[in-house]
Amino acid sequence: MAWVCRAGKNGKAHRLFLDSKLVALGRQYVDDLGPLPADRKAFVEHVKALARAAGGPTTPSSLGHIAQTLFRFVHVMHEGDWVLYPATTVDGQVYFGRVGGPYRYGDKSDSEYPHQRAVVWLKSLPRSELPSGLFKEISAFHPFYEIKRNLKSIDRLLGNLAQNT
């Protein structure tokens, strides 16, 4: 599998991603999700309740989107999956890596982006060097989503790196 993870508005978490070798999601109003079960329905309902109780978004569609996004980050993303970080607002690069560990809840120094996954960053390329299909697929402005159509493009771009990780 392959995922896109963004670093917040204007690349706010750019240095956190690269220096700490991770990707992360915000949602400070939702505490550690590691102990929650992998049962999607129970997880989603629990996250919705946490968000409402902490003063997070209240509309059903916002709550559902947040809960589903966090579920995928915690339970669907796995060690070894590809992760792409398009840093287009910061340096125009797209960073390619492999998920290097399980979900973890960050410490106080990472309080804006507490939901985290370790990443082994392998390569970066200017966005302009991506095949057009991959370029388009990673252009959505969602904070985290699965890449479904261009996995072969990723393998071709990374060549031997794909076999050595």
pLDDT digits (tens, 9 = 90+) for 94-121: 999 999 999 999 876 667 899 999 999 9
CA 23 – CA 53 distance, rounded (Å): 26
pTM of this structure: 0.89
Domains of the chain (ranges, CATH numbers): 2-33+76-163 (3.10.590.10)
pLDDT in tens, 13-40: 999 999 999 999 987 678 889 998 899 9
CA 158 – CA 122 distance, rounded (Å): 8
Q: Coil, helix or strand for 129?
A: helix
Say which DSSP state 89 is in: T
Widest CA span of the chain, in angstroms? 48
Say which DSSP state 107 is in: -
pLDDT in tens, 38-57: 999 999 888 888 888 887 77
164: confidence class by pLDDT, cuts 50, 70, 90 = very low
pLDDT in tens, 133-146: 999 999 888 899 99
